[in-house]
Amino acid sequence: MSNIVIKLPPKMQKEVMNYYSQYIVERKAPGVIFAAKLADCAITIYSSGKVMFQGGGCEREAEQWKTQAEDPSTMTLSKGDTLPNNLSSLSVIGSDETGTGDYFGPITVAAVYVPQDKIDLVKELGVKDSKLLTDDYMLKIASDLKATLPHCVLVLHNEKYNLVQAAGTSQGKMKAQLHNQAIRQLLAKIAPEKPEYILIDQFAERKTYYNYLKTEKEIVTENVLFATKAEQIHVAVAAASILARCAFLSEMDKLSKSIGVTLPKGASHRVDEIAAQILLAQGEESLHSVTKWHFANTQKASRIASKKRFN
């Protein structure tokens, strides 16, 4: 099972407790001072200050807290596969996603093929770990990447996301399906050429990933590798991360214009406030159309809206 562990200061630990207060469960394990259980993620706080997010939704839930970690570098996820020593210099399809931890907006997945002879060029274009780049910079270089590299970008819009989630599909399964689909489409696009490896930025262990795909008709398995922080391992994943992010930003702009409100990223208290404003002004149906409805933000926004109605 996938898990992420971060260490938070006491003040932030209390915020986590308050945030998940309606999902509290009892855990009597040594050192546990708080435990909560969502449909796809368990949250456990230990007396050491470490907070563990475990399950298919661990990355989504940890995303909104990791910037408050005492040392962001302590954030850990399951390690992934043993990689070839020369992987960074080989022809690789990289695959990554974004939007999974954001209440507003879709999930976007990108797969990008970087052949060996274009690795240096991609680096010259400014590709590096997207977490080190600003949104404006990524938008600036995205067009050059699209013109230079074979790629596939998929968008899971909120209406479809909410529909399949309500039917029982976990976010982890959605991501696996999107990655598999993007990679399949990209392999078809570059055929008969083949990458030496396919590198997926790991959000689930190999066994879990393929279990998510067991009902799919076509599953890509040949030369597939999984690694956390894969955007630091090969420029193909870094490029995929940038294209996925730019697609997410583009969709957020469209949604903001359609609903008449600038939608914030993430899942913070500011997000709850904006969601409450939409709920009051436009109703539940409008809010549902631009959000990942099952996030805890929905209940928080509803409580904020209710207070404002009676004030």
Yes or no: say if 178 and 107 are a contact pair by the CB < 8 Å rule: yes
Which residues constitute the domain of residue 146?
87-254
Q: What is the pLDDT of residue 73?
A: 42
CA distance 118 to 123: 9
| Side-chain-facing half-sphere of 183: CA atoms under 13 Å | 29
Residues 221-253: tens digit of each pLDDT: 999 999 988 888 999 999 999 999 999 999 999
pLDDT digit string (tens) for 28-65? 777 889 999 988 889 999 988 889 888 878 888 888 88
Cis peptide before 192 (omega within 30 of 0): yes
Can you give the pLDDT at residue 66? 78
Q: Is the pLDDT of residue 17 over 80?
A: yes
Q: Tokens 């209406």 sit at which residue?
A: 159
Same domain? For 99 and 36 the reply is no
**Is 262 within a domain?**
no
Same domain, 70 and 125: no
* 26 and 101 share one domain: no
Instruction: Tell me: do 272 and 172 sit in the same domain.
Output: no
pLDDT tens digit sequence for 117-143: 999 999 888 887 556 678 888 899 999
Residue 260 is assigned to a structural domain of this protein: no
Q: Are the beta carbons of 108 and 248 closer than 8 angstroms?
A: yes
The C-alpha angle 73, 78, 81, rounded to 5 degrees, equals 115
Average pLDDT on 146-154 reads 96
| pLDDT, position 74 | 43
**82 within some domain:** no
Pair (121, 9) in one structural domain: no
Tell me, yes or no, whether 108 and 151 share the same domain: yes
**Which residues on adjacent β-strands are paired with residue 109?**
97, 154
Residues making up the chain, counted from first to last: 311
188 shares a domain with 113 = yes
Q: How many domains does the chain have?
A: 3
Q: Tell me if residue 153 falls in helix, strand or coil.
A: strand
